[in-house]
Amino acid sequence: MKSTSLESPALRALGAAPSRGGATDAEGLPVGAGALHPRAPLGAYEPSAQRADGLHSPPPPREPVTLVGAEQALDRLLHAAFDDDARGLRLTRQQLEGLTPEGWITFLALMNTAQNGQLAQLEAKAMEIHANAMQMCRAEQAKELLKQGENGKAQAANAKSSTDWAFIANVALALVTLVSGTLKTAAGANHASGFCELFAGGFALAKIVATCRAQAAGNAEEAKHWNQEAEKFSDLETKFLGFSMAIDVLSVGRVVAAGKLIADATKTQLGNATTLKNIVGDSLTASKQVTRDAIKLEAANVGQAVAGTVEADVTASIRASFGTMGRSLGEAQFTKLFNRMGIEQMVTRAVQGAVTRSVKSAATTGVAETENLVKEIARQVERQAWGAGARAALWNTPNTIKRVASAGIVGGRSIAEGVIELRQNKLQLELQKSLIDARFLQYLIDDFQQASKSALDGLKRANTRTTDMQASLMEQSALHGRMLQGIAGVAHTTA
């Protein structure tokens, strides 16, 4: 088997040696280049005689290899080293065997350069991928930062809305207090209580103005001053509202004597309460409707009789309890409730309530207990008087308007603040998520930057290896050249 000559221009550039015929040993077996059989594994040919001593033999292979397998392995190696643009450097086994030492040096230099070039391309591609990833992460990070800015604006708007609602509610409550005080004073309900509420409303408005001045202050010292003023006005508002409530509550005590007068008159009118006791006794056998009608009729008769006899005494008692301050303390609202019709209604309700309870007790026990019926009716009359006094003092028209309006204002403010707080909580959750996303994106950016730095270092190392290899090969080529020059000189001298 004979080797062929190198035909490619790349091989001629590498300095390939001329082709030579296949040599054989004494047995006629091939030696040197082309010693492997294309299909037979290494060692398949056993020489019939020993080879000459002193000849170097290659180490035995790990496993038998055919010539075709060796050429395929070489082709895979060179295919990995050189891409399709450098097909001329992908040599066959026979072409490699024919290379001169200078050609080998050049071939190895080209292989090293190709390998380092491929590594440099991979590192550059990695840097490009990392740069694109960092650009995408920075774009997402910018979006998160924009979302955080919008979130902050929304939270500031919610805080301003909460402040606005509180301001509106405080102004409305102050105006309601002023209106209630005005109505009490104008209607003669209770001048003292009305004036206290007018002062309380004025101080509430002054507190609001001071709070606004503090928010608009140009420096911390001025803001501190107006905040202190607002606290003073708030304390005064609370105190005068307390005074107004105290005056109303104390006014209820002025009807105690009137209540006792009505109760005593009721006892006198009832006497032994024979009619009412009979109604309770008859309820055990009579129908419920008959019993109810009888109770209602007798209670109305007692109420009319008591009101006709005690009205003048009750009015005189109320006026005496207020004395000369009657107009200022709201005497008129009490005398209005304790007139003839008011007394009649109090007594009628008291009688109906007491007798109805006795009837229910008799129906339960089967025994009509009427011994304490008159005392119970008298107690109920006093309770009715106390209730009427409380309504006159605490639930008159101005107080009712104030309480209903204040409850509506406070409820509306609470609802608005609840809605705003719900929105704030949602915004805070979104902000926390955005902060976590931004921190994770920053972590990715830092990681990509480190990877890009590592890729750049690898690129520099590849370039350094290429330069060092080329310098080393040039040095080897120069040494080989000097060796050949020396051999030529010796040959010339010998000749």
- DSSP per position, 18-64: PP-PPEE-TTS-EESTT-S-SSSPTT-SPPSSPPPTT---PPPPSS-
pLDDT score for 478: 77
pTM of the predicted model, to two decimals? 0.54
| Lookup result for tokens 């890009």 | 452
CA distances from 55 to 4, 46, 50, 51, 85 (A): 26, 17, 11, 8, 42
pLDDT score for 256: 73
CA distances from 138 to 213, 430, 440, 455 (A): 45, 20, 11, 20
Say which residue, 10 or 141, is predicted with more confidence. Answer: 141
Query: What pLDDT band is residue 200 in, cutting at 50, 70 and 90?
Result: confident
pLDDT score for 122: 79
Query: What pLDDT band is residue 331 in, cutting at 50, 70 and 90?
Result: low
DSSP 8-state code for residue 99: B
Nearest to 439 by CA among 135, 130, 145: 145
CA distances from 448 to 6, 130, 451, 453, 456 (A): 49, 5, 5, 9, 12
Indicate if the pLDDT at residue 272 is higher than 80. Answer: no
Query: Helix crossing, 397-494 with 101-187: angle to 10°?
Result: 170
pLDDT score for 5: 36
Query: What pLDDT band is residue 33 in, cutting at 50, 70 and 90?
Result: very low
Average predicted confidence (pLDDT) for the chain: 75
**Range of 75-84, 246-255, 449-458 with top mean pLDDT:** 449-458
Q: How far apart are CA 381 and CA 76, in angstroms?
A: 118
CA distances from 350 to 282, 360, 364, 371 (A): 20, 16, 21, 17
pLDDT score for 341: 85
Q: Which two tokens stand for residue 311?
A: 């009205």
Query: What pLDDT band is residue 348 in, cutting at 50, 70 and 90?
Result: confident
**Secondary structure class of 30 (helix, strand, coil):** strand
Indicate if the pLDDT at residue 264 is higher than 60. Answer: yes
pLDDT score for 128: 83
Q: How far apart are CA 358 and CA 144, in angstroms?
A: 77
Say which residue, 427 or 36, is predicted with more confidence. Answer: 427
User: Do residues 89 and 78 touch, judged by C-beta distance below 8 A?
Assistant: yes
pLDDT tens digits, residue range 397-427?
777 788 888 888 888 888 888 888 888 888 8
Indicate if the pLDDT at residue 245 is higher than 60. Answer: yes
Nearest to 396 by CA among 196, 255, 248: 248
User: Do residues 248 and 236 touch, judged by C-beta distance below 8 A?
Assistant: no
Widest CA span in the chain? 174
431-460 burial: b if 16+ Cβ within 10 Å, else e = beebeebbeebeebbeebeebbeebeebbe
Q: What are the backbone dihedrals phi and psi of residue 272, each rounded to the nearest 5 degrees, phi first? A: -85, -5
User: Do residues 81 and 115 touch, judged by C-beta distance below 8 A?
Assistant: yes
User: Do residues 186 and 332 touch, judged by C-beta distance below 8 A?
Assistant: no
The mean pLDDT of 173-179, rounded to a whole number, is 86
CA 197 to chain centre: 44
Indicate if the pLDDT at residue 86 is higher than 60. Answer: no
User: Do residues 170 and 208 touch, judged by C-beta distance below 8 A?
Assistant: yes
Say which residue, 46 or 345, is predicted with more confidence. Answer: 345
| Lookup result for tokens 């102050």 | 174
Q: What is the CA radius of gyration of the chain?
A: 58
**Secondary structure class of 46 (helix, strand, coil):** coil
Indicate if the pLDDT at residue 3 is higher than 70. Answer: no
Question: pLDDT above 70 covers what percent of the chain?
Answer: 79
Indicate if the pLDDT at residue 60 is higher than 70. Answer: no
pLDDT score for 119: 77
State the first-to-last Cα distance of the chain, in angstroms, to the nearest integer: 36
Nearest to 478 by CA among 16, 101, 15, 12: 101
pLDDT score for 439: 84
Query: What pLDDT band is residue 23 in, cutting at 50, 70 and 90?
Result: very low
With a CB cutoff of 8 Å and minimum separation 6, the contacts of 375 are none
The mean pLDDT of 20-35, rounded to a whole number, is 46
Min mean pLDDT across 299-303, 335-339, 364-368, 428-432 is at: 364-368
Q: How far apart are CA 73 and CA 75, in angstroms?
A: 5
The mean pLDDT of 322-338, rounded to a whole number, is 65
pLDDT score for 295: 79
Run of H or E including 24: strand 23-24
pLDDT score for 84: 61
pLDDT score for 53: 58
Query: What pLDDT band is residue 121 in, cutting at 50, 70 and 90?
Result: confident
pLDDT tens digits, residue range 210-242?
888 888 887 888 888 888 888 998 899 888 888
Indicate if the pLDDT at residue 4 is higher than 50. Answer: no
